[in-house]
Copies of this chain bind each other. A is one copy, B any other.
Amino acid sequence: MSDDFISRLTGLVGERGIVTSPAEMAPYLEDWRGREHGRARAIVLPRTTEEVAEVVRLCAETGTAVFPQGGNTSLCVAATPGADADGIVLGLKRMNAIRSLDRASSAIVVDGGVVLSAIHEAAATVGRQFPLHLGSEGTAQIGGLISTNAGGTGVLRYGPTRDLVMGLEVVLAGGRVWNGLSTLRKDNTGYDLKNLFIGAEGTLGIITGAALKLAPALRARADAWLSVAGPEEAVTLLGALQDVFDTNLQAFELLSRSEIQSVLDFVPGRHCPFGEAPAWSVMIELGAPDPEAALTARLEETLAEAMEAGTVLDGFIAQNETQSADIWQVRHSVSESNKKRGVGLTHDVSVPVSQVARFIAEADAMVAEHYPSAEPVVVAHMGDGNVHYIVMFDHDWWQDVMDRKALQNNVMRRVHDIAMALGGSYSAEHGIGRKLTAELERLTSPVELDLFHRVKAMLDPDGLMNPGAVLSP
């Protein structure tokens, strides 16, 4: 029966479209952080939407679970099956065509398996940009990015991935194909199906194609590193900058002294333009398509006013590309430095922007009370209200912890509870995957949870699409 199933799969996708040897399957079954190892009967790699549909139909017929996989860069184990899974991984990587590129409509239509950086390159050929940027852009695939509604560094200006999608092509559970590949800016004809699949982490269907919005390419920029007294002043500064720069404000990141110090201590070649790491740092990026936009000059005026008002204590505005790169190198060294610094329990919460300062204060107080040996580290996409709140333990201290899983869970719940009490979210940009299903059950209202289950039952009544992700089985 199993052999027959494999040979039928092979009949659909060809010998080169199927992987069954344990050694070759291993990389598809290990999650991005290398901590979880799943199980599958085969890795199936179709080349066309029709092949995906045929594979899904065969799985429906045989009651086989399907685990869709893009670039396998999920930070919450959404892209690999569980350790007790019994199904197939359906990888999109051989579906990597740019289907069409329409400059006048600022639209690109791509296969679900296209790697993000390939979309950047295609857009650039017509003087446009695709403004989704994140660390794994050389590996992450657009189908997975849409399925997880990925965030990244462009959200303040362009919104999350959801806001960049005009249309989708989806292979539904059961194997029918929904063609919603519209490149329209406006369409009010019936219920919005597209947004159901965006962020559903492959549990409602498989995204095999996408129509995406492009934006004008940026040809002017300015970058600065500012010292502010605290998160409350950072919120004031954000409002003042938006009142002048509107959508030219592309990034507004807030970092605690502990985070900057960690980078300076543990990553060689990183510099701080101030005498010592400021209590709180704000890093900003301005960008505009108009090459004539005098962003740096206008920023100098605006910051002079902010310093006079006491909102900004000190500031460093990059005068050339090297200085810009130096600022952002510090920001991008955060993960590396934190790994060396100790064991950091990271949280991906969001709160309304006005509540960021209060969230940090309450979380710091919680850490001081319950985990006095830990140091709070903050790196926040503050313009989005998205705080990566890290509770940092020394390596030595961590070694002595008896039940690490329990400690981790307790810290996580306490941080999440503080965010939720402020009208926040316990997963701002990473999603649920297999990592946060228990938190979803704990923190979702009964009405909402019931609606989630109804959505799942409506689109995947047999529960064969990425089972175990988002909702507990």
Contacts and interface: CB of A to CB of B under 8 A. Distances in A.
Given A178-B448, A196-B192, A184 B425 contact: yes
Contact of A447 (B104, B176, B242, B352): B176
A319 interface: no
Interface string A181-200: 01111111111111110111
A245 B432 CA distance: 38
Contacts of A242: 106, 216, 289
Contacts of A386: 185-186
A368 to B, nearest CB: 26
Nearest to A245: B290
Given A216-B242, A447-B177, A155 B104 contact: no
Contacts of A149: 188
Interface in A22-56: none
Nearest to A104: B354
Interface string A431-451: 110001000100111011001
Contacts of A430: 188
Interface string A402-440: 000000000000000000000111111111100010001
A236 to B, nearest CB: 8
Contacts of A247: 246-247
Contacts of A436: 189
A282 interface: no
A332 interface: no
A427 B190 CA distance: 9
A191 B186 contact: no
Contacts of A178: 447-448, 451
B288 A423 contact: no
For this chain, the copies found in one complex come to 2
Contacts of A351: 184
A197 to B, nearest CB: 9
Pick from A440, A454, A457 the residue with the most CB of B within 10 Å: A454
B385 A105 contact: yes
Q: Among the interface residues A178, A186, A427, A447, which one has the most CB atoms of the partner chain B within 10 A? A: A186
A199 B191 contact: yes
A353 B104 contact: yes
A134 interface: no
Interface in A206-265: 215-217, 235-236, 238-239, 242-247
A163 interface: yes
Given A163-B163, A184-B423, A190 B352 contact: no
Contacts of A428: 184, 186-188
Contact of A185 (B179, B193, B353): B353
B190 A425 contact: no
A440 B189 contact: yes
A151 interface: yes
A1 interface: no
B444 A190 contact: yes
A148 interface: yes
Contacts of A193: 448, 451-452, 455
Contact of A444 (B184, B189, B196): B189
A216 B185 contact: no
A298 interface: yes
Interface of A: 102-107, 127, 148-149, 151, 155, 159-160, 162-163, 172, 176-180, 182-196, 198-200, 204, 215-217, 235-236, 238-239, 242-247, 288-290, 292, 298, 350-355, 381, 383-386, 423-432, 436, 440, 443-445, 447-448, 451-452, 454-459, 470
20 contacts: A103-B239, A103-B354, A104-B239, A104-B353, A105-B354, A178-B447, A183-B352, A184-B423, A184-B428, A185-B386, A186-B385, A189-B426, A194-B195, A196-B196, A216-B242, A217-B243, A243-B289, A244-B289, A244-B292, A246-B288
Given A148-B188, A189-B427, A191-B196, 12 more contacts: A104-B238, A105-B354, A184-B350, A185-B350, A189-B426, A189-B443, A189-B444, A190-B444, A190-B448, A190-B470, A191-B452, A215-B246
